[in-house]
Structure 1
Amino acid sequence: MIIVEKQQNRYITLQKTLSKQEFYILIEKYQKTHDPIVKEELLVGNMRLVLSLMKRFYQKSKHYEDLFQVGMIGLIKAIDNFDTSYQLQFSTYAVPLILGEMKRYLREESQVKISRTVKDLSYAILKEKEKYLVEKQREPTIEELVSNLQIDQHSIIEAIQSTQSVASFQEIIGHDDQNELHLIDMIPLDKETLKHYHQHLDLKKAMTCLNPREQKVIQERYYKGYSQCEIAKELFVSQAQVSRIEKNALEKLHKKLV
């Protein structure tokens, strides 16, 4: 069955998306023979996955054809390295690889300048994720990235965030009756809301002055609602020690914010 789908004012001819059983039959045949015709069947049968992921970036890149091509590179990597022994749905494995290629392309295309150090780290993280996907058929957690790359958590998160494409306030995100709905329409601009945003950003920045244990106590006390006794059990300390840690942390935050 052939499906014709309209994308960006043009039409793309697709085969019906392969079922899990159909895909497994073809992938096992390809991995045994490396037949390019079978590989082509797998690519065409999963092309809709690439197109569906591209919808996330419609307003973020003018180079639609290039984005499609890099998405197909991710799909090729997924087909070449998929391990059938895990009995996973192919999309579970392929999506992170396809998105990784698209985000890498958008990062290089972006007008926002990112330092070479952060770029190098984000590339190392991407390669580690790809390696992890091949070996364990899943993406590594932040903690596993920290352990494997021997990089602190803050730097890991910063590098991952740098790969996120920048959104314009004028980006169209939907329609309301006959009118286009832009991102800026969804952001409240009243003084109280902006004040709340600024306070949140100030507090987030101030939290960096705390040591890891103090940060944990503050987060669990004021964001997760844990009692001092519950935190004490988790940290293997007394409730009195948790109380002192919390008091010291609050004093530090007060000085920083004032």
Structure 2
Amino acid sequence: MDRNELIEQNLRLVHACAHRFAGKGIEYDDLYSAGCVGLVKAVDRFDHSRGFRFSTYAVPVILGEIKQLFRSGGSVKVSRSLQELSMRAQKLCEQYRARHDGEITITELAEQLGVDVYQAAQALSASKAVLSLSGEDDEGYVDVPVPSPEEALTEHLSLREVINALSDDELMLIIQRYYRHKTQQQTADTLGTTQVQISRKEKKILLKMRAMLV
């Protein structure tokens, strides 16, 4: 599967992530545009050799771009060159709608702009155009700002990605405490340490995980 196909086939992840923040002060289309930038970044940075599913890696990256939009107050600093590209992108989108009575895909837009998919996604994010980036697959998607069944999936994938980032020792402690439901003393006995040390390590690990999820 090539780069553009991987992006097109995973746009539903962007919708699932964007729906989590719908109605919280930023227009859905802006959330979706930021999420598309995250998806392209995830595609470019994904390392197949690590053995993770792409969605496991992509969801935290997509969420990170959307959360950055909130941290910046709903606006993004845009360079002059990106402003010009975004104006071209918006014009092409309007022309496409007028001719085809539909929405241009991100791959088609990138081709017409003469840039790669990442730059096209950035241009859309900057222009804040109301734009659908759906591929023309048979299944399609429903783009409505209502709670989605996929939200639970994004939460699960985000947590899984954080857990995968823990060291072996940290992971063992979390498994004992939160998957096997052992007390701190029981965990200490299993790991050959003291309850006090387990308590201290657990607090540090939970703070680390919380920081990665925010």
Tell me the TM-score normalized by structure 1.
0.31
Structure with greater contact order relative to length (CA < 8 Å, sep ≥ 6): 2
Q: Which has the higher strand share?
A: 1
